[in-house]
Amino acid sequence: MVRALSMGSCLTAEQGPAAAAGAAPWGKGREGRRREEEVTGRIAGNGVGNAACLFTRQGRKGTNQDAMVVWENFNGRSDTIFCGVFDGHGPHGHIVARRVRDTLPSNLRDLIYDDYGESPISNSNGSILEETLSPYAGAEDKSPMSVHKEEHHEFFCTMKDSFRKAFRVTDKELKLHRSIDSICSGSTAVTLIKQGQDLIVGNLGDSRAVLGTKDKKGRLVAHQLTVDLKPDHPREARRIKRCNGRVFAHQDEPDVARLWLPNCNSPGLAMARAFGDFCLKDFGLICVPEVTYRQITEQDEFIVLATDGVWDVLTNQEVVDVVASCSERSIAARSIVDLANQTWRFKYPTSKTDDCATICLFLDKDSSSGLSGSSVTSKGIGSSQRVPTRSKKPKLSSKSVIPNDADDGSDSNVSGDERSLESFTRLNTLLALPKFDDTSPTKNEAH
């Protein structure tokens, strides 16, 4: 019988960029290509690159279970960047998160390269895609599109397939890894590939991606790019119920819906999709990401990827305002984490602060001018204000979005109103209580 688990925490991310090893030419074998992982432009810890800055801080729950990576010149293209933030949970969550961080990008790169020889993304005509391709619509529901729109739709479907395959391969490798116990440990992931003006986002779990963009009045506003995939999200709950899993909140945490085994009140996972957690994979938990596409415009300024340790205490707009208030772009990620830590202590003084990890990716063409290229350290970085003001803002800005992909066998008629984008208060990923009696019978389950 699986026992309830306390939330683990993750290994502290390495400081600074990974060691550079000259980029080898694309090889035929997967082994040869994977040796390119430690190349210039790949940062897997606190640091600053040409277009992004990264920062993570351990909470008060133990080892830091958050991991992150930025990989410039991704897939051998100078206009392409991969970003990913990973939030581990369970006793070995830190190991799972770091493993996913190290293998998912190369799995994705290999799939793109093997299938196409290079990324299928193209910006040949520079036009703006404004329509939303519903991820819930079946083939019979699709309206006729112009040739141009059909090309974008084909590209989106192609990249969606690559993301899904890469996530499945990564999850399978994790399951087969002899030295990693991922039965009751796992990790979320929020990832993106930006190539030119094209943006693909792949999301698994309850970390989040938020875009800072200008509205028609020139104000910098937050636009959420992902959905928090919680167990009580209507679409997720339906799938879990069909698989005989259960969704309910324990009486001690009435606001935190969790995924439970059919006949045992454990392990109490506070998300509906994740890598690992193989004890729940037959009961509604899946590793299929939601994949979205957006074409970046001049209104789009930056994207923030962060684990739920940030979003549990800060709103999307507060995070965007923090970035806008930074005097230098290189301190943006740390400023968000600083404010999140302060807010945790203020909002939840009796709770242990969660780990926080943040990546800020700047979208304008001259973004490198605001970044130093050196590692971010604890010295010389100013703490963000408790109530940030919009005194300074990164250059450039954005527009419409393409779809949340959810074609995982779940219901395909979920309305947009059911996709609650605001974060839920979540103090633990896995229930931090010992196994308890069945105080939440089937009638209390989320439907």
* Per-residue pLDDT tens over the stretch 50-62: 999 999 999 998 8
Res. 125: pLDDT tops 90: no
Proportion of the chain above pLDDT 70, given as a percent: 64
State the greatest distance between any 2 C-alpha atoms of the chain, in Å, as a whole number: 61
Res. 438: pLDDT tops 60: no
Mean pLDDT over the full length of the chain: 74
Q: Which residues pair with 212 in a beta bridge?
A: 222, 302
pLDDT at 126: 34
Res. 349: pLDDT tops 60: yes
Tokens, residue 249: 């909140």
In a domain, 31, yes or no: yes
The per-residue pLDDT for range 4-19, each reduced to its tens digit, is 333 333 323 333 333 3
Convert 82-118 to b/e letters by CB count within 10 Å (16 or more is b): bbbbbbbbbbbbbbbbbbbbbbbbbbbbbbbbeeeee
Give me the amino acid identity at 100: V
Q: Which residues pair with 192 in a beta bridge?
A: 83, 201
Proportion of the chain above pLDDT 90, given as a percent: 55
Dist. CA 240–CA 189, nearest whole Å: 20
Look up the domain containing 54 and give its range.
14-229+290-435
Please state the domain count of the chain: 1
Res. 402: pLDDT tops 70: no
In a domain, 322, yes or no: yes
Distance, C-alpha 426 to centroid of its chain:
16
The CATH number covering residue 414 comes to: 3.60.40.10
* Residue predicted with more confidence, 132 or 90: 90
Dist. CA 417–CA 438, nearest whole Å: 32
- Of 112-116, 138-142, 143-147, 271-275, the range with the lowest mean pLDDT is 138-142
pLDDT at 289: 97
Res. 229: pLDDT tops 90: yes
Res. 400: pLDDT tops 70: no
Tokens, residue 212: 């800072």
Give me the amino acid identity at 385: Q
Res. 147: pLDDT tops 50: no
pLDDT at 431: 52
Res. 257: pLDDT tops 60: yes
Dist. CA 333–CA 338, nearest whole Å: 9
In a domain, 367, yes or no: yes
In a domain, 304, yes or no: yes
Res. 129: pLDDT tops 60: no
- Of 235-244, 349-358, 399-408, the range with the lowest mean pLDDT is 399-408
pLDDT at 264: 85
In a domain, 85, yes or no: yes
- For tokens 């965007």, name the residue: 320
